[in-house]
Amino acid sequence: MGTLAPSISPGIVEEQAVERQLVPEQQVAVEAGSASDTQGNENLDEGQTSSQVEQAAASESEIDEQVAAFMAQHAAEIAEEAGKPFQPLGGVEALESSDLVASQSEIVTNKPSPGAAAAAVHAARPYHPRMDEGSKRDSTLQKIGKLDIKGRIQLAMKGSKEERSILIRDGTKIVALAVLDSPKITDGEVEGFASQKNVLEAVLRGIPMKRRFAKHYPIVRNLVFNPRTPLDLSLGLMKNLLVSDLRNLSSNKEVSDTIRKLAMKMVKQKLDPTKRTD
């Protein structure tokens, strides 16, 4: 007997034909939905970007208000120092040499393995990043040199980290102090300022006057270890030092003999609170 082919009812055939006709329509609907989602995401991104721009504008507005408040508060001093040009403590050469030391320190800290260093020699040879950095530094110094006292104050409070690192050494006190009032300044920057010798005493005194910096231990420690810090300020801050730092301070030849002797006395007292030393 021959094999009989399965019979398919006309109703089923019609249903399959309808399904085949619906597939392209459904696909179009899915694609339309996907396009709608994409447009929605683009609108969301535009909304986020707009929000970020508004926040940045609000931040700039707040900084402008702080600059205006600083100017008003120190109006008399600004008027008195109006004619003073930019003169960094230690001279421009001191700025450049300190940058070179910092750059070399970074290279030592981030020193690559011998294999990686050898592999990078050929690629690095055509470039001169130090020269580029020097040119940029010269450009910044020229820019600052053209500004009057009000322009330097604004730059101190609104400028970049590099500009603050230069203006903190301005021989005009009110400009250097404006750096400490910058809303953009970081604790790490002030740690460096606290250990610098080419800054005004007014700057070193001004650092712990701000509660935010006075609560930051590395800043306090750097001030005490800085031989440039006024003696009375160092003596007042020593009580906050840890025993290990006091011990190091007692043998530090750069600070005054008064500081070293007091540091040793405090070490003994902290190790044995019941013991009294003369």
Q: 39 in a domain, yes or no?
A: no
Dist CA 215 CA 231 (whole Å): 20
Mean pLDDT across the stretch 207-215? 96
| Confidence category of residue 129, pLDDT binned at 50, 70, 90 | very low
With a CB cutoff of 8 Å and minimum separation 6, the contacts of 260 are 249, 250, 251, 252
Q: Would you say residue 187 has pLDDT above 90?
A: yes
Q: Are residues 85 and 180 in the same domain?
A: yes
**What does the pLDDT look like over 219-272, one tens digit per residue?**
999 999 999 999 999 999 999 999 999 999 999 999 999 999 999 999 999 888
What percent of the chain has a predicted confidence (pLDDT) above 70?
Answer: 60
Report the range of poorest mean pLDDT among 7-16, 122-131, 157-166. 122-131
In terms of C-beta density within 10 A (0-12 exposed, 13-18 middle, 19 or more buried), how is residue 166 classed? buried
- Contact 87/170 with Cβ under 8 angstroms? yes
Domain boundary among 184, 212, 239: 184
Q: 51 in a domain, yes or no?
A: no
State which residues form the domain around 246: 186-278
Domain boundary among 140, 164, 184: 184
Q: 14 in a domain, yes or no?
A: no
AA letter at 218? P
Q: Are residues 175 and 240 in the same domain?
A: no
pLDDT value of residue 91: 78
**What does the pLDDT look like over 5-18, one tens digit per residue?**
445 455 544 555 44
- Contact 90/97 with Cβ under 8 angstroms? no
Average pLDDT, the chain: 77
Q: Are residues 201 and 246 in the same domain?
A: yes
pLDDT value of residue 60: 86
Q: Are residues 168 and 207 in the same domain?
A: no
Q: 97 in a domain, yes or no?
A: yes
AA letter at 174? I
| Confidence category of residue 59, pLDDT binned at 50, 70, 90 | confident
Q: Are residues 118 and 130 in the same domain?
A: yes
Instruction: Look at the chain and report how many structural domains it folds into.
Output: 2
pTM: 0.66
Q: Are residues 98 and 209 in the same domain?
A: no
Dist CA 179 CA 170 (whole Å): 10
pLDDT value of residue 138: 72
234, HSE (Cβ side, Cα atoms, 13 Å): 24
Q: Are residues 162 and 205 in the same domain?
A: no
| Confidence category of residue 175, pLDDT binned at 50, 70, 90 | very high
**What does the pLDDT look like over 23-51, one tens digit per residue?**
444 454 445 555 555 555 555 455 556 65
Domain boundary among 184, 208, 237: 184
Q: 87 in a domain, yes or no?
A: yes
Q: Are residues 114 and 173 in the same domain?
A: yes
pLDDT value of residue 70: 95
Mean pLDDT across the stretch 157-173? 96
**What does the pLDDT look like over 66-96, one tens digit per residue?**
999 999 999 999 999 998 999 999 876 666 5
Q: 55 in a domain, yes or no?
A: no
DSSP assigned state of 83: T
With a CB cutoff of 8 Å and minimum separation 6, the contacts of 262 are 235, 238
Mean pLDDT across the stretch 97-114? 44
Q: 75 in a domain, yes or no?
A: yes
Dist CA 197 CA 64 (whole Å): 31
**What does the pLDDT look like over 192-207, one tens digit per residue?**
999 999 999 999 999 9
Q: Is 90 left (phi over 0), alpha (psi -120 to 50) or beta?
A: left
Q: Are residues 191 and 178 in the same domain?
A: no
Q: 56 in a domain, yes or no?
A: no
- Contact 206/178 with Cβ under 8 angstroms? no
What are residue 88's DSSP bridge partners? 170
Mean pLDDT across the stretch 114-118? 49
pLDDT value of residue 272: 80
pLDDT value of residue 224: 98
With a CB cutoff of 8 Å and minimum separation 6, the contacts of 178 are 70, 152, 153, 156, 157, 167
Q: Are residues 74 and 180 in the same domain?
A: yes
AA letter at 175? V
Q: Are residues 180 and 190 in the same domain?
A: no
For residues 98, 104, 108, 112, the Cα torsion angle rounded to the nearest 10 degrees is 150
Tokens coding 77: 């001093």
pLDDT value of residue 90: 83
Q: Are residues 256 and 241 in the same domain?
A: yes
